[in-house]
Amino acid sequence: MTETTDAKARIDETVKANDVVLFMKGTKAMPQCGFSSRVAGVLNYMQVDYQDVNVLADDGIRQGIKDYSDWPTIPQLYVKGEFVGGCDIITEMTLSGELDTMLADKGIAFDKDAAEKIREANA
């Protein structure tokens, strides 16, 4: 098995095994880039239970996730096996309330009051 195939298999397994997955630079406790930090911050603040995958720890995953989603940048958020987007998309979805709706529709628990506070702070 090539490294690329192996990385894709591991990504696929992680995306399918967890309701919410964030492929990011760093970890949810210690993000290593501003964009990853912003998305992790939103998820942490809204108390979403998610799996973080540090792409800096594995070059195969770092390139593999871009091929997997056909999306050029990191972070990347997946909910129930579906690619949702990167930092700009998640930020827009959070501010519009679209993220709340999607999480609720997919049965993902989150703190609705925290989501409202984010919107109020950015209004």
Q: Which residues pair with 54 in a beta bridge?
A: 24
114 found inside a domain:
yes
123 found inside a domain:
no
34 found inside a domain:
yes
> Does pLDDT of 105 surpass 60?
yes
Half-sphere exposure of 14 (CA within 13 A, CB side): 23
104 found inside a domain:
yes
- Tens digit of each residue's pLDDT (9 = 90 or more) over 45-104: 999 999 999 999 999 999 999 999 999 999 999 999 999 999 999 999 999 999 999 999
Q: Give me the domain span that covers residue 17.
A: 3-118
71 found inside a domain:
yes
**pLDDT score at 2:** 64
SS3 for 73?
Answer: coil
Q: What is the CATH classification number for the domain harbouring 13?
A: 3.40.30.10
36 found inside a domain:
yes
Residue 1 tokens, joined:
């098995």
Specify the number of domains making up the chain. Answer: 1
55 found inside a domain:
yes
**pLDDT score at 95:** 97
Do residues 108 and 81 lie in contact, with contact meaning Cβ atoms separated by under 8 Å?
no
